[in-house]
Structure 1
Amino acid sequence: MCLFRIIKSRIGNKMSQKIAFTASRAEVAQTARAALITRYGNAKPEEAEVIVALGGDGFMLQTLHDMQHLAAPVYGMNRGTIGFLMNAYSEIDLQDRLAAAEEADLNPLSMIATKADGSIAKALAINEVSLLRAGPQAAKLKITVDGRLRMAELVCDGALVSTPAGSTAYNYSAHGPIIPIGSEVLALTAMSAFRPRRWRGALLPKKAVVQIDVLEPEKRPVMAEADANSVMGVVSVEIRSEPSVVHRILFDPGHGLEERLINEQFT
């Protein structure tokens, strides 16, 4: 399965879908949810044919994680400060927009983080898995890809592995590449690399297994994050794509992630 693929919405042309509305804590999102429920009703998430998330990108990621056990796709409408994963907000014609929507299927990254005490923490990331220094000194990392040592020592503020969907987020802020949908690659990007000087990272096949070991973890502590899930005091992290998990996102025609990722490179 591709890391990300665009298909026609499975919602079809139903005249009336069962919708479950969820919203961030922001007042504007809560107000929008109340108005939409008044107009369209509100199904239980377990019974819904589509879930509408109201908020920003952070809330969209939270909703995708929370609802990943359900079959219904998620359609986001922007009621936050950032909306790269969201559609424009409107109270009218929602049923028609859902019927015409295009679906994008995402496979997240799997993170297996080992802590200094030997305990294991696991999490999934739709955008990226990152390792960040957790003390005053730069981190020292060793990078292995598919069992082959690729970098014996990277001195940096951190490093991350990003999906195409997350390539315009933290990855892009760290000067990583924007990855087109369908390219079937992951971005390995360094943050403020000191040695090797200004090393920007690498593009890897989506099937690659990345192992990042922390050198001198007591002197140079490192934390790991899978989207918003943080793990302190890690000594090693394994990162790979997880094809067994599929997140379904709906976009208005002509405004899907493929178009947005291309357009972002020209703005």
Structure 2
Amino acid sequence: MTDYPRRALVASPTPPAQIARAELADAWDWCNLDEADVVIALGGDGFLLQTLHTMLEQRRPPIPVFGMNLGTVGFLMNEWRLHDLDQRLSLAKAFKVIPLMMTARGVDGRIHTLPAINEVSLLRETRQTAKLRVTVNDRVVLDELACDGILAATPAGSTAYNLSAHGPILPLGSALIALTPISAFRPRRWRGAILPDKARIGLTILDADKRPVSAVADQHEIRDVAQVDIALDRSRELTLLFDPEHALDDRITMEQFIA
């Protein structure tokens, strides 16, 4: 059991989240985010990702986040309840999430470094098929991949865009990264790879002027990239808190059996 005496409250701008925020604001004492031991986030999965990115941008180490679902899906959120917050926090189960770090070099030579909690995805910008060279730990594993794009997903993000692209679901704590093609044309039978999370992935855009590609780290897009390197950033570990009955790891496992 863990006590979190200093708590910050953040909420999505949607009406349900703002109504819940007003109710919680009157029921508990709150502090600023930079003074808190824990963050209570009200909204959906997208808002939770936004909150985690806000903490990654701060200089202080990230603090745990307890989300309550007032959005659409809420896969990474707990049930919304006004009461018993003290007890829920003291009993909450912690899950560690290690983000990816994307280093993208544009065709203009500029370097962009961005974290990704769910996935890094590369997408063609025009009707022209993207052509990519793929390396793992500096070894060329695909000399030319013709596709709409490709993505690298963490276990936490493997049930999001990665799953929609027919990528594998990765259990939390599996120390793996999913590398999944998006509408691969050649090699036609390549369905992706499951890599150890120590792997360094390199993606070189071939003929970038004729076949422009954008790189997206969660919601942050960099257009017209020439090279993208992806690796875990273990120095920026994040913590999500869940009610014991939420069992995020079990939910991720059971996603594999949903028809």
TM, length-normalised to structure 1: 0.92
Deviations 1:184-238 (A, max 9, x none): 1100000001111142100111000000000111111000000111000001100
Q: Distance in 1 between matches of 2:235 and 2:114?
A: 14
**Which residues in structure 2 correspond to 1:69-84 (within 5 Å)?**
69-84=60-75
Which structure 1 segments of 5+ residues have no match? 1-8
The 3-state SS of whatever aligns with 1:265 is helix
Whether contact under 8 Å (1:17, 1:95) holds in the other structure is no
Whether contact under 8 Å (1:76, 1:250) holds in the other structure is yes
Higher helix residue share: 2
**Which residues in structure 2 correspond to 1:26-175 (within 5 Å)?**
26-68=14-56, 69-175=60-166
Q: Which of 177, 182, 191 pairs up with 1:186?
A: 177
Q: Distance in 1 between matches of 2:71 and 2:149?
A: 28
RMSD: 1.2
Please tell me whether residue 200 in structure 1 is matched to residue 188 in structure 2. no
Which structure 2 segments of 5+ residues have no match? none
Query: Which residue in 2 is equivalent to 1:226?
Result: 217
Whether contact under 8 Å (2:63, 2:238) holds in the other structure is no
Runs of 4+ with deviation above 3 angstroms: 68-71
Superposition deviation, residue 19 in structure 1: 1.8
Whether contact under 8 Å (2:117, 2:218) holds in the other structure is yes
Whether contact under 8 Å (1:52, 1:74) holds in the other structure is yes
Q: Distance in 2 between matches of 1:144 and 1:59?
A: 33
Whether contact under 8 Å (1:18, 1:50) holds in the other structure is yes
Instruction: Indicate how the Cα distance of structure 1 residues 79 and 236 shifts in structure 2: closer, same or farther if over 3 A, else same.
Output: same
**Which residues in structure 2 correspond to 1:229-244 (within 5 Å)?**
229-244=220-235
Superposition deviation, residue 70 in structure 1: 4.5
Aligned letter for 2:254?
A: N
Superposition deviation, residue 264 in structure 1: 1.3
The 3-state SS of whatever aligns with 1:244 is helix
Deviations 1:236-263 (A, max 9, x none): 1000011111111101113233112112
Aligned letter for 1:160?
A: L
Q: Which of 6, 20, 25 pairs up with 2:8?
A: 20
Identity %: 51
Aligned letter for 2:117?
A: I
Whether contact under 8 Å (1:165, 1:257) holds in the other structure is no
The 3-state SS of whatever aligns with 2:21 is helix
Aligned letter for 2:236?
A: V
Q: Distance in 1 between matches of 2:231 and 2:136?
A: 10
Please tell me whether residue 251 in structure 1 is matched to residue 255 in structure 2. no
